[in-house]
């Protein structure tokens, strides 16, 4: 059943240290279930990351903006991207 997909991960994500948390779209055909309307080509893409961050924040019991800021900062560190302003 789709509703159970990743249920164990939803519980585990609470235990990932905030400074180690990243989000990505590496599964081209595994769309966020909260995405409406669903794209006709059913292809996942980086523009859908806000949907992932919303689910992640909900599962961790945190604010969406805080999770977005933290995961962005983590990606900047990991990929050695310049800090924006």
pLDDT in tens, 34-71: 788 888 888 888 888 998 899 999 999 999 999 999 99
- The pTM of the full predicted model, rounded to 2 decimals, is 0.82
Instruction: Please report how the helices 49-60 and 64-78 are oriented relative to each other, as an axis angle in degrees rounded to 10.
Output: 110
Place of tokens 């055909």: 29
* The pLDDT value given to residue 85: 64
Rounded to whole angstroms, what are the CA distances from 34 to 13, 48, 55, 65, 69?
A: 18, 10, 9, 18, 21
| Calpha distance 81→84 (Å, rounded) | 9
pLDDT in tens, 18-42: 999 999 877 777 777 778 888 888 8
pLDDT exceeds cutoff 80 at 4? no
The phi and psi torsions of 17 (rounded to 5 degrees) equal -60, 140
The structure tokens listed for 27 are: 């599964």
């Amino acid at each position: 059943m789709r509703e159970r997909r990743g249920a164990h991960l939803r519980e585990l994500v609470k235990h990932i240290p905030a400074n180690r948390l990243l989000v990505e779209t590496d599964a081209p055909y595994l769309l966020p279930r909260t995405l409406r309307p669903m794209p006709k080509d059913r292809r996942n893409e980086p523009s859908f990351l806000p949907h992932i961050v919303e689910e992640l924040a909900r599962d961790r019991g945190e604010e969406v903006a805080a999770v977005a800021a933290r995961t962005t900062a983590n990606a900047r560190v990991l990929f050695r991207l310049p800090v924006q302003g």
